[in-house]
Structures are given as structure tokens and as C-alpha cells.
Structure 1
Amino acid sequence: MAELNTKNGLRYYSLSHRWGHGMPEWPSTPGINVGVKKFHAKDGVYVNEFEGIMHRGTHMDAPIHVTGNTPTITGYPLSSFFGTGVAVSIPKGKWEVITAKDLEDVRPKIQRGDIVMINTGMHKKMADTDEYFAYSPGLYADGAQWLVDKGVKMVGVDVQANDHPMATKLVDHGLGPTHPHLIEEYKEYTGRDVKEDFPNWESAHKILMVDGGIPAIENVGGELDLVTGHRCTFMAFPWRWPEGDGCGVRIMAVIDPDQKFRIPTGA
């Protein structure tokens, strides 16, 4: 449950999934492995060692992840990670797309300069399953372009990636198809071809991060339901890693039920 700061009435919520050994991982190269190197009964200290790529769990990509000669994880302005915004409910099921119209119609309304957290309901299903990673809903080009045109500051989605799974290497994009059976399954399920509906590889990644300069967080979760439908203060904490193509990120949402708290100007 959310913590309550009794001094000023602010309520703090974590919007990140657990990170660590055995966590559900996107179906690609080997991910996070954690081992205990020292422990108290033997060594008098406790030390873990981990190896793995950064694109696991609740994490943030950098533009360099999808386009050469673009900024790394420290290329975003620090101001991008803190501010007012909304957590919005856009319920979606198998292979549905988060559209520009969905984003336009949400309440509370998305405003210019907002941080936006999108709740499709999928974070409750995060697991080592095809349902979460292969059959998820997601953003694609028109939704991402709407967010850029709106001038939002940062975006988070509670699904497997910033892009719909049919815009990834799971099917015939980039290094794929790694999951070729999905091509025929999609056609049987929708009556359409994957490449007709999703002609470009990871359009949402490129539109948001490369074209728009907007940090985009994947696998948002935790206490997202408790802040959905509310205007909040959000903050995210990526690593200070100048060469980073992405990293795990801790997200917090803060709500003042009395709407009285303000950050002093320092004047």
C-alpha cells in the first residue's frame, strides 16, 4: 500500500515492478541474473552480483537504443523526469492499439507539458507469459505522434514495450521474426496482415524519443491503479550513465488530497 506522510498529508506511490532474479523478461537475449557472492554467516557482509541488459522490468530507453548517432540516457534534460501530469485509464485487450482518439478522450484531460502514465490494465498480468509479452496491446505511430504534438514531458505505459508487439522483432521487423507463428495468428485473429497494420519497426519508440525528445518508460506497474484518474506529481530516477542505451527506473507519484501543497519557488 501507499505510504502516508503525516507531516504534510502527501501520499506517495511506487509505479515500478519488482526487479531482480526470476523477474518476467522480454523475450530476447538473456537478461537479468543475480547471484549472492557474500553472505553474513560466511563473510559477515551481504553482496550480490548481477549481469544483464538494461531493458528489463520497469525501465526507460534512450534514443540511441533505436537510432544511431542520437542521445544516450543522460541526453534527456533532468526537468523531463519531474512534474505534474495524469495517470489515465485506457483499457485494452489482446493486440488492441492505444490510439490518438483514446488519448484525446481520456479524463483527466492530458495537457501540454504533462507527464502521462497510461493504464491499460496489463500491468496486473505481468508474468513470464505470451499473454503479457506477445499478445499485449500497445502504442503505435498515431498515438505516439499525438503525444509529441501535445507537447507532453514524459510517457509511461503498463505494457511490454513502448511499441505494440506487432511492431517489434517478434514478427517480421528488424532482427525478427523471432516469433514467426504470431504472423499467422494475427491474421487469423484480425483478418489482416501484420505488415499492413504495422508497416514500420518500433515507430512509437522513434517518434517519442528521437523525434519528440520524450522519455518513454516501459512496464509501468506497482500502485498504478491507485493513482489512475488523478492528476499527480510524478518523478522518475534513471541512472547517470553517459553511454547508456537505457536503464531500470524507479517511478513515484505524489498526491496531495487537500491540494494545498506547493513546492516553494526559493525566491
Structure 2
Amino acid sequence: MRISKLIYTATLLTLLGPLSQPTFAQSAQVGKSPWGPQDELGRLNLMTDKSRAAVLSRISGGQVYDLSVEYYMGMPGWFPAGDPRYTFWMTHTPQGTINDDPLNVGKEMNQHVSYSGSAISMYAHTGTHIDALNHFGLNGEIYNGFAADKHLGDRGWNKTGAETIPPLVARGVLIDVPAAQGVEVLPPNFRIGKKEIIHALKQQQLTLAEGDIVLIRTGRMQQYGHTDSYLQDPPGLAMSGAQYLVENGAMVIGGDNLSLEAFPSQVQGNYIPVHTYLLAQHGVPIMELVNLEELASDKIYQFAFIGGSLKLRGADAAPMRPVAIPIR
């Protein structure tokens, strides 16, 4: 057990890299919403009845692609940072119900009616999930200037909690960076910047539009069943890539890796700059551990993205099971 903890601690330190001194941290501030001082949705305001109708009218039928991962004991997660692993246990089993008779219906009834029940425990950022805008902030505030000392209680945030995230229906765009680079999986610590994104979009003959849900493939999902290798030195989005996507209309940005961005940070004074840039400064929700392998295999680069997350009140993330349907 001690050796295992040391391995995962080393993995986390490798992932984050050395922390820089916060020489510039006070200069970066949270963004204020153009949709008003009470806005909790950020760029999700770009999704309208008209935009939803537009993408749904382009559905061409055919295969529906499941973009979620399976949840199972031993799956990858943020346990190197001290967060709980995904845990599953049975609360009722057919034989146990016969022996314990928890509902007081009698042995004969329990032998006739088999009863199974289960429960789970996990960190909110486990498996395919979406980060709420309160997940990361700057200088004690989250997006739109909501301060932690006023809006964070013992039962979570009362602003921008996961329950505020509406069902997502928008054009989805896959940016297959490994394919554009001529590899199956991006090398460890590979940084996906503006140049790599432009190159991939050119290869795919695709342009971005305002309100897109942009999904970045690194290929690391091929290692999802092998927790240690999946977590080790992941490739991810660089600041220049995040800035390019925001400037070109991205409403939501997701990836197939654990933390979307690449580590260690190259921004002095901020160990996780892509997260704070997207969530805290621009109100762009983040999706992680999105399974993009089937889409990439079939070269489906644009699609109707449809997905809803659990309405976890006050939470900073929520699991979701999105699907992609090809569009004309």
C-alpha cells in the first residue's frame, strides 16, 4: 500500500510539475459576463432555440455515437490528488435478502422475488463529466465576480452549481490532433497549441463557428483501461490552443484526457492556467474523459452533440453521458 501511494504521488507531481512563484497571479482577474451581473451560464448563453433547431435539422440519421466511458472499480481518477476513487458495492443481494429479510416480507417471499441493489461513491470529476464554472477561480472569485466568501456554503456553491447547466444541444466538432500529426496517440506531454489546431482543422476541411462544442482528441483514451499509463504524462491543450478556440467561437471545450490541459504549466504563477482561462475568465465549461475513438475511427468531424449532466446542486462538476449524431 505504501509503495502504491508513493507511485501515485510521483505521478501527480510529474503531472503538475514544479509550481512557479505567483509573481503575476494578482494581475489575472475573473471575467465579467456580457449577459449581466447575475448570469451563471457564461458561454452557454450562446445556445438558443434557434441554434438548437438549426443543428437538429441537419441530423442525417445513422449511427448514434456514445461519447461516455464506463465506470468501474480501478478506473482512472484524481486519486493522486487525494480525491476518492470510484467505489461500487452491493447493498442488497438475493441470498442476503433471504437471510436478513430487510423489508420484513418473509423467507418465502424473498426466495420467490430476488432483490439486488447497489450504491456508488466517487469524486464529482470522475469518468465522462462536465466542469461547472465554479470549479476554478482567481483571487477568491469565480466567473462573473461571485466571491467564495459570499456564495460558497457547507452544501456547495449557490452560484454556477452543476444544477444550472442546461441540456447541451449544439454542433459538435472533433479535432483529431493525432491523425493530423500522423500518429495513433500523441506523445507524452505533447502540447496542443494554436498551430496544431489550425493544422488539424485544415486537414479535416472544417472551420469553427460560434456556439460549437469543440472536442479535442489526443488518442490517450486508447489507454483508458490501463490506469497507470493513462495518467502518466498526458498530452493536452496548451494556452495558445485554448485562446484560439475561444476567439473562434467555442462554447464548450472538451477532451479525451483526464484534465484537458497539458502539464506542467508554462504560465508563471498559475499551475492550471487553461482551466482558469476557460472557466473563470471566459465562462467556458470544460468536459473531460470524453470517448472520441469511434468518431475518429469513422472520421466523423461534425455532428449534433446532445448531452445532459446530473443536476447536482452546488457541485463543481457532474457526470454526463453525451451522444453524437452525424449531420449533413
Band of TM-score, shorter chain: 0.7 to 0.9
Give, in angstroms, the shift of residue 146 of structure 1: 1.4
Match 1:37 to one of 78, 91, 105 = 91
Structure of larger gyration radius: 2
Determine the structure 2 residue equivalent to 1:172. Answer: none
CA distance in 1, matches of 2:308, 2:72: 17
Give, in angstroms, the shift of residue 252 of structure 1: 0.6
Structure 1 unaligned spans of 5+: 1-7, 168-196, 260-267
Residues 162-198 of structure 1, C-alpha deviations (whole Å, 9 max, x = no match): 221323xxxxxxxxxxxxxxxxxxxxxxxxxxxxx34
Aligned ranges 1:140-219 → 2 under 5 Å: 140-167=238-265, 197-199=266-268, 200-219=270-289
Identical-pair percentage: 26
Match 2:171 to one of 75, 84, 93 = 84
Matched, 1:242 2:313: yes
The answer as to whether partners of 1:236 and 1:252 remain within 8 angstroms in 2 is yes
| SS class of match (1:60) | strand
CA distance in 2, matches of 1:89, 1:132: 18
Determine the structure 2 residue equivalent to 1:20. Answer: 72
CA distance in 1, matches of 2:121, 2:300: 37
CA distance in 2, matches of 1:119, 1:127: 17
Give, in angstroms, the shift of residue 224 of structure 1: 3.8
CA distance in 1, matches of 2:235, 2:175: 15
Give, in angstroms, the shift of residue 204 of structure 1: 1.1
Give, in angstroms, the shift of residue 9 of structure 1: 3.5
Determine the structure 1 residue equivalent to 2:157. Answer: none
CA distance in 1, matches of 2:194, 2:320: 26
CA distance in 2, matches of 1:53, 1:147: 28
CA distance in 1, matches of 2:308, 2:94: 30
CA distance in 2, matches of 1:123, 1:83: 23
Give, in angstroms, the shift of residue 130 of structure 1: 4.2
Match 1:220 to one of 284, 290, 294 = 290
Larger helix share, 1 or 2:
2
User: In structure 1, what residue type is equivalent to 2:287?
Assistant: I
Determine the structure 1 residue equivalent to 2:163. Answer: 74
Determine the structure 1 residue equivalent to 2:15. Answer: none
CA distance in 2, matches of 1:104, 1:86: 13
Determine the structure 2 residue equivalent to 1:132. Answer: 230
CA distance in 1, matches of 2:312, 2:217: 29
Give, in angstroms, the shift of residue 63 of structure 1: 2.2
The alignment's TM-score, normalised by the length of structure 1, stands at: 0.74
Give, in angstroms, the shift of residue 115 of structure 1: 1.2
Determine the structure 1 residue equivalent to 2:196. Answer: 102
Count of aligned pairs: 219
| SS class of match (1:207) | helix
CA distance in 2, matches of 1:232, 1:246: 24
The answer as to whether partners of 1:123 and 1:159 remain within 8 angstroms in 2 is yes
User: In structure 1, what residue type is equivalent to 2:93?
Assistant: F
CA RMSD, Structure 1 to Structure 2 (Å): 2.1
Structure 2 unaligned spans of 5+: 1-59, 98-113, 143-159, 179-185
| SS class of match (1:11) | coil
